[in-house]
Amino acid sequence: YRIEINSEAPWTAATSQSWLSLDTLFSDAGISSLVVTALPNASANDRKGYVYLYIGGTERIEIPVHQKGISISFESDEGADFDRVTFYWMKNDDDGIFNFKLKSNVPWCLTSVLPEWIDVSPKSGNGDCMVTIALQSNNTPDDRDFELCFGDALYGVNAKMQICNPS
């Protein structure tokens, strides 16, 4: 981010966190700019830091920097978050279809190896996306369970969904 500064006195700058960096640490009076760069947040937790401008040796300005953590979650058509889906399509010729919104602020992919009775589309994306699960009818005497895992490509943050298909 570029910050434009118009100061009547020389200024210096500093940051409160090591994940924040500045392209310059001081300037003379007048119009200048300061570029703030943040390293990627490899955590699921949000984090906060500050850029400090010290103007003329007496005035201090704090500029907050808030960076979101990695987030992957699921939302139903009704807007409710969830992590478990039970499919009740049993012993018939119809396949079960379930649509949901995968919410993410990073590129993601399906990390589970799917059994033959489940299909997921799409299997990867960049940010929020509608996802469809197609489930073949369960014509066996046993219940079927499977855990779908969606993850980001770089940092190992995962969201898991349990698929249950009663016999």
Residue of 133, 122, 124 whose CA lies nearest to 82: 133
Work out the average pLDDT over 34-59. 91
For residue 152, the tally of other CB atoms under 10 A from its CB is 21
Q: Answer yes or no: are the C-beta atoms of 152 and 102 closer than 8 Å.
A: no
Distance of alpha carbon 74 from alpha carbon 131, whole angstroms: 10
Q: Which residue has the higher pLDDT, 46 or 74?
A: 46
Report the SS3 class of residue 123. coil
Whether the per-residue pLDDT at 91 is higher than 60: the answer is: no
